[in-house]
Amino acid sequence: MDRNQEIDIRNRDNDEIEIDLLELFSYYISRIWWIIGGFLVGALLAGLVTHFVITPKYTATAQMYMVSSGTQSVVDLTDLNIGQSISSDYVELLQTRPIIESVIKEQNLDYSYGQLVGMLNLSVLTDTRIIVIMATSTDAREAMNIANSLAEKGVSELPKLMETPEPHIAEYAIVPVNRSSPSLTKNTMIGALLGMLLMLAIFTSQFLMDDTFKTADDIEREFGVMPLTVIPEGKIEGLDDSVDDERRKRGRSRKRSRNKKYYSKSKKKKQEKN
């Protein structure tokens, strides 16, 4: 056996266990339908749990645009740089407690400050003055209302605090149609892989715990000696036929002996009657 095809694993008793990768692969191939079954069952279970058990979530998105501080119609480079710098400030101030609590009160939401902040994702698009407000909820309409309410608070409240021009709402959020999470495709593939890995783990354990000798090489590897002979398994042509012939001959001889005994007894009875 090629040493490149073997992996030595030491167990707790410091004994060496040799794993023939080709033999292990053949063991997998002989049970390929079980592995495929585990793959399909894992995919089916994950898909059913994702579709019927896990509550879907929806994400609504609103956008705000930071305007320049100048009054002229042409925006210069300084205004652009200032607008980009204060956009990050807006993102942080939109998540302050007064703003968030005013949204909760206005929308009559049953969330705490921390819970609502956890439902929000605010960011600034790279090299722009556009702020993206994303709200995620199990209710699609609620997600839309939260995103739009927070954008409106940013327009009405933050300019007073920062003494800057009011930003514009570039896009109001709409009711999302498709759920943002969980992903049915992703979860189904993860479930399929887990099902397949589970079957492979089971078969690998069975392969490692099987200590029966299957070939002469196994005996030589375990005891260091070659067996003198090997008893083959299965039906052997010629040998089975001779055994069957011998059994038939024995059956016929027993039948003849019984017939002879019966004939002699009947003959004796006739002589006694005479």
Model pTM score: 0.64
Domain match, 126 and 202 both: no
**Which of 55, 62, 58 has its CA nearest to residue 140?**
58
Same domain for 92 and 190?
Answer: no
Instruction: Please report, for the domain that includes residue 64, its CATH number.
Output: 3.30.70.1130
Number of separate domains in the chain: 2
| Domain-embedded: residue 242 | no
Claim to verify: residue 89 and residue 136 sit in the same structural domain: yes
Same-domain pairing of 65 and 143? yes
Residue 267 lies in a domain: no
Q: Are residues 40 and 78 in the same domain?
A: no
Q: How confident is the model at residue 13 (pLDDT cuts 50, 70, 90)?
A: very low
187 and 159 in a common domain: no
Query: Do 208 and 113 fall into the same domain?
Result: no
C-beta of residue 136 within 8 angstroms of C-beta of residue 119:
yes
Tokens of 199: 């079957």
Q: Is residue 108 domain-shared with residue 134, that is, in the same domain?
A: yes
Instruction: Convert the pLDDT of each residue in 133-186 to its tens digit.
Output: 999 999 999 999 999 999 999 888 888 887 778 888 999 999 999 999 999 999
* Cβ partners under 8 Å of residue 155, min gap 6: 64, 166, 167, 168, 169
Is residue 16 assigned to a domain? Answer: yes
Does residue 86 lie within any of the structural domains? yes
Please give the residue range of the domain that contains residue 163: 58-171
Residues 197 and 117 in one domain: no
| Domain shared by 219 and 154, yes or no | no
Asked if residue 251 belongs to a domain, the reply is: no
How does pLDDT run across 186-235, given as a tens digit for each residue? 999 999 999 999 999 999 998 888 777 667 776 777 677 777 666 666 55
Q: If residue 62 lies in a helix (H) or strand (E), which one and from where to where?
A: strand 58-65
Q: Which of 118, 138, 173 is nearest to 58 (CA)?
A: 138
Q: Where are the alpha helices (DSSP H) in the chain?
A: 21-30, 32-48, 77-93, 97-107, 113-118, 140-156, 158-162, 184-209, 216-223, 239-273
Q: Are 217 and 1 in contact (CB under 8 A)?
A: yes
Spatial contact of 60 and 133, defined as CB atoms under 8 Å apart:
no
The pLDDT score that the predictor gives to residue 16 is 57
Based on the fold, state whether residues 48 and 129 are members of the same structural domain: no
- For 261-267, what is the mean pLDDT? 57
Using alpha carbons, select from 60, 84, 64 the residue that is nearest to residue 131.
64
